[in-house]
Every structure is written in structure tokens, then in C-alpha cells.
Amino acid sequence: MNIFKIFMESSITAQIIMIVLIIFSIWSWAIFFKKLFEFARFKSRARHFLSTYRLYNSISELNNLGHLLNNNAYGRILRNGLEEFKKLRLINIHNPNSPDAEKKEKTTAELSDNIRLVMERAKISELSELESSLPILGTFVSVSPFLGLLGTVWGVMEAFFDIRARGSAHITIVAPGISDALITTVYGLMVAIPALIFYNIFRTRVNRHSGEIDRFINEVFVRLRKALITGQQ
């Protein structure tokens, strides 16, 4: 069984389907390598950021994280939170001894939810970046077996047309057509199975990272809210 020989001997329809499937395969593996690289980068940068972030005790120091606030997802989320925090604090600073101080404090507490919302928004954009190209993988998973099946059904149909044309259903006439036809299903499955594995791997990773980011957001939110209400620097 020579893959190349079977490819050359099969009908034009089967060849087109096989070429499309090979393109799918190359594409899905490219996505796999790309995602593998991206997730590895994400993980290493996140680890670096979190290990340094825990060393900073006050909010004002957090502004000094520098490039760490820009080059990873956690940093970008924190930066968004800090920006919102500054905006909210400005309201308090401009009116430090206003007559209705109690009322102000109340509104500050209410507005502190904004910090959370801003960070949630940043999280969504970060996750969408992580999830990019996963829908393509999902499409390959579902489409390529069907495409292979189409090639097979087409080949079987041709084999039966041959039987009709020759008026004989001997196995020597039918078998080559059907064996050629089955190769497209093999190709389809060879594309779909790795793609499904990649899809599940990355889907799980995205979910895990999403959970971790949620935990981080809560941690930061608690810190910033406390600082906002108590006026701590």
C-alpha cells in the first residue's frame, strides 16, 4: 500500500478532496504549533509577573512594574484596574473635606465596582486572543470526516456506475474502486483526530487560564477597593 501511488491512481474528485484535506492538515498543525508557542509564552510571562507582583505591598508601588504591566495578560488586566482606580481616587482627592463626606464615601464604595468591570473587560479581550484560531480547529474536526466520507461515497458511486456500464459485478471490477474510495475517509480521519485532540487540549487550557485570571481579578479588586475606601496609598 503506497500512499503516493494510491493518490496518483484515484479519480480527480478524490484527488481534489485529498488535496483539500492535506491543506486542512497543514493548517491545523500550524495552529497547533502556534498555540503551543503562544501558551508557553503566556505561561512563562504570567509566572514571571505573578512572582514579582506578590513582592509589591502598596498600590503606588505597583505603577513601577514597568514593562511587566504591558507584556502579559495579568499585567494588562492590572494596568486597566489601576487606571480606573486612579480615576476614582481623583474624585476623592479633589473634594477631601466636602460637607457631605459620608455620602461621597458611599458613592466611592459603589463606584469601586467599576474597577472590577474594567478588569473583566480586559480579561475578555485577553481570553479572545488566547481562543483565536480555536474555532478553525473545531471546524476542521467536524468538516474533514464528512469531506472524507463524501469522497468515499463518490468513489463507491463511480464503482457502481462501472458495474452498470460493464454489466458485471465481479469482485475484480468492484474492489479497486471501493478501495480507492476508502482512502479519502482515511485522510479525513487522519486530519480530524489530531485536530480534535489539539482542540480539546487548548480548550481545557483556556478554561484553566480563565479560572486563574478570575482569581487574580478578585485578588486585585479586593486590594484596590480597600485602598480606595480607606484612602491608603
Q: In angstroms, what is the minimal distance from the CB of 33 to other proteins?
A: 4
Of 27 and 154, CB closest to other proteins: 27
156 scored as a contact of other proteins (CB under 8 A): no
Give CA–CA dist 80/118, Å, rounded: 6
58-66, 86-94, 167-175, 217-225 -> range binding other proteins (CB under 8 A): 167-175
Helices assigned H by DSSP within the chain? 3-9, 12-53, 59-62, 73-94, 101-111, 113-131, 134-166, 171-230
**Binds other proteins by CB under 8 A, chosen from 169, 175, 193, 229:** 169
Give CA–CA dist 144/161, Å, rounded: 26
Q: In angstroms, what is the minimal distance from the CB of 217 to other proteins?
A: 30
> Which amino acid is residue 51, in one-letter code?
S
Of 173 and 182, CB closest to other proteins: 173
31 scored as a contact of other proteins (CB under 8 A): yes
Closest CA to 2 of 180, 143, 160, 136: 180
52-85 burial: b if 16+ Cβ within 10 Å, else e: ebeeeeebeebeebeebbeebbbbbbbbbbbebb
26-34, 58-66, 75-83, 216-224 -> range binding other proteins (CB under 8 A): 26-34
Is-contact 154 185, C-beta < 8 A?
Answer: no
26 scored as a contact of other proteins (CB under 8 A): yes
Site string for other proteins, 84-123 (x = CB under 8 A): ----------------------------------------
Applying CB under 8 A, the residues found at the interface with other proteins are: 1-4, 22, 25-27, 29-34, 37, 166-170, 172-173
